[in-house]
Structure formats: C-alpha cells, structure tokens
Amino acid sequence: MSSLEASRFSPSRLMDAFQHRMPGVLICITIALATTFIADHYGGPTLLYALLFGMTLHFLSEEGRCLAGVEFSARTILRLGVALLGVRITIEEVAELGIGPVLTVICGVAFTIAFGAVMARLLRLDRDMGLLTGGSVAICGASAALALSAVMPRNATHERNTIMTVAGVTTLSTLAMVTYPLIVGVLGLSDTEAGIFLGGTIHDVAQVVGAGYMISQDTGDVSTFVKLLRVAMLVPAVMVFMFLFRRERQEEGGDQKVPMLPSFLVAFVALVIVNSLGWIPPVVVDGFTEMSRWCLVTAIAALGIKTSFQKLAVVGWKPVILMVAETLFLLLLVLVFIQTGLVSL
C-alpha cells in the first residue's frame, strides 16, 4: 500500500469522514426507526412510509451538514442492503421447485422487462424508465428498483425515476397482497398453484409472504420459494443492465473503467453460495436478513429526502400507467403458465 493510499485510511481521515456523514445518516436511520414502528403497530408498507417521510424532509438535502450523509445512505448503505439479500436464498430451495416454476419465473422476468421497454416507448417515456419499472415489477419490487438503479447511468431524471418506481411498485404490491388471494379463490387454484401465482406475481417479498400464509401454510411455503427464485434473478438482471449501460457509465466516469461486476453483486452471489453450503448459522442468517431490511429502509428514506413533491408532480400519469400495465402483464403471463400446466413440468 502506497503512502497516498495509507493516508486515505488513516484514523484522522476516517473520523473526519464519519463526522461529515453522521448527521445525514442519523436522520435517515431515525426515519427508518419511526416508519418501522408505525408499520409494526398500525400496519402498512414500511418502505412506502419511509419514502413519504423522507420526502417531507426534502429541504435537508439542500443543507450542507446533512447532504453527505444522505448521499452515503442512498448509495453505500443501499448497496450493502442489496448484497445482504443473498442470505435469504439457497441453491437447494431453488432446485426443489422443479423446472416448471423456474421456467415460469425466467420467462416472467425476461418478458416483463421487455414489455416495460416497449410500453415506455409507446407512452413516449425514456427507455431507462421502462427497463427500471419492468425490472422492479418482474423481480422483487423496491429492492430490485434500488439494485438496478445503482448500475444505471445517473442522468437528470435518474433519481426521479427511481423514486417514482419505488413508490409505484410498493403501492401496487400492497394492493396485490389484498386482491390476489381473492383471485386465487375465484379461479379455484390448488395450494401449490396459488403459491406459484402469488410468488410469481406480487412485487415485494413481505407482501408475498403475507398473501401466501393468508391462504394456507403450504401456499405460504411455495410462494416464498418462488419469490426467492425471482429475487435470485436479480443477479443476471443486474449483469444485463450493466452490459446495456456500460458505455453510458464509462462516459459518465470519464476515462475511469466501469467494472463488469460491482462489489455488492459479487457479495450477493457469494452469500447465496455460502448459505447454500450451510456455513452460515441460522442466527447469522436472521441477523443479516434483518440488517438488509434496515439498510434498505434507510436507503429509501435517503432517496425520499433527495426528492421533492414538486419534482414528482412533473412525472405525470404515464409512469403510473406503465407500472400498472407491467403488473397486469406479469399477472396474465403467470396465469397462462398455470392454466396450461407448464408449472407442473
């Protein structure tokens, strides 16, 4: 290590960086604590609460003392939270589902992202918005939106697109948790089919678990496994996005090369492999899962602080139509796989 590198990690520099970022980070953590308390005691989606609470404090993003910490929360803490999602998945759980659900999930993710890009063009929205919303609807809601956003180029509409996507998919996921079990009853799906339907269509993990176990224990188990398979699709999706936006990221960073595999994605894959080998004790898995949740809530709060209601109002109704269309497309696609018996392969 050179003297320059050593100076970057000297105790005095680390302490200065800590003190510089701490005010903004503490505000984001406070929002995360408050919104988690409200969600636990009165119900509702924690991520949506954190987003809205953060937006009411938008003025803090223009104040020097908090700006560095808010930026740190929206980037570094976000990537840590996404990496820790890997402890929720094992290769064995994916293998137990068989080829049918796996094929359903892969097609659902690929076709929904492609559908999002086409719909965005029809609605005269930029391609980035279509890919971001399609990926978040297809994979794992707000978590996917944050992960995909982290590897997309940061243009003038980047933050606004991310906020709109998180708000939209979180709201739609909550509505789906309430309405999709009713669809299961109307269609007369079996517990396994219901689990594949709920796990393959609802956006966020928490809402999938809530809807699945609302029906039965078996449905809850299957829906959770299918949902985790969709979460696993985050890895190839991020890699594809990095390839698509590689040139833009390089132009954004000047002569600096953009790595094909970001550190948070490598950590995600590593945790999946290590967890599959059984090397992580259950108590550590629970701890990492909880830490991931707190990181994501904190990052959402930071993104909310960085965005104003006025900027969101400029977006208009088209992104809402886009996300609703993507949600309905995924729902119909999964139902076609179930009704044709493809999930039983």
312: how many CB neighbours lie within 10 A of its CB? 15
Question: What's the number of CA atoms in the CB half-sphere (13 Å) around residue 77?
Answer: 27
Residue 131 has pLDDT above 90, yes or no: yes
Closest CA to 80 of 296, 302, 306, 282: 296
What digits encode the pLDDT tens for the residues 321-337?
Answer: 999 999 999 999 999 99
Give mean pLDDT, residues 74-90. Answer: 84
Please give the residue that has the higher pLDDT: either 100 or 28.
28
What digits encode the pLDDT tens for the residues 239-277?
Answer: 888 888 776 666 555 444 444 556 777 888 889 889 889
CA–CA gap between residue 222 and residue 192 (Å, rounded): 6
Task: Please say whether the beta carbons of 166 and 158 come within 8 A.
Answer: no
Which tokens in the block code for residue 89? 């998945």
What digits encode the pLDDT tens for the residues 27-43?
Answer: 999 999 999 999 989 88
Closest CA to 119 of 281, 322, 345: 322
Give mean pLDDT, residues 184-190. Answer: 92
- pTM over 0.85, yes/no: no
At 8 the pLDDT is 54
At 250 the pLDDT is 61
Q: Exposure string (b/e) for 51-67, b if CB count within 10 Å is 16 or more?
A: bbbbbebbebbeeeebb
Which tokens in the block code for residue 180? 């999709």
Q: Angle 127-138/234-244 helices, nearest 10 degrees?
A: 170
- Which DSSP symbol is given to 155? -
Task: Please say whether the beta carbons of 77 and 305 come within 8 A.
Answer: no
Which tokens in the block code for residue 243? 């390839």
Per cent of the chain over pLDDT 90 is: 32
Which tokens in the block code for residue 275? 């967890």
Give mean pLDDT, residues 177-184. Answer: 90
CA angle at residue 139 from 249 to 157, to 5 degrees?
40
DSSP 274-300: HHHTT-S-HHHHHHHHHHHHHHHHHHH
At 313 the pLDDT is 62
Please give the residue that has the higher pLDDT: either 254 or 76.
76
Closest CA to 296 of 123, 143, 127, 107: 143
The most confident of 1-10, 138-147, 248-257, by mean pLDDT? 138-147
At 256 the pLDDT is 44
At 283 the pLDDT is 93
- Which DSSP symbol is given to 257? P
Residue 71 has pLDDT above 50, yes or no: yes
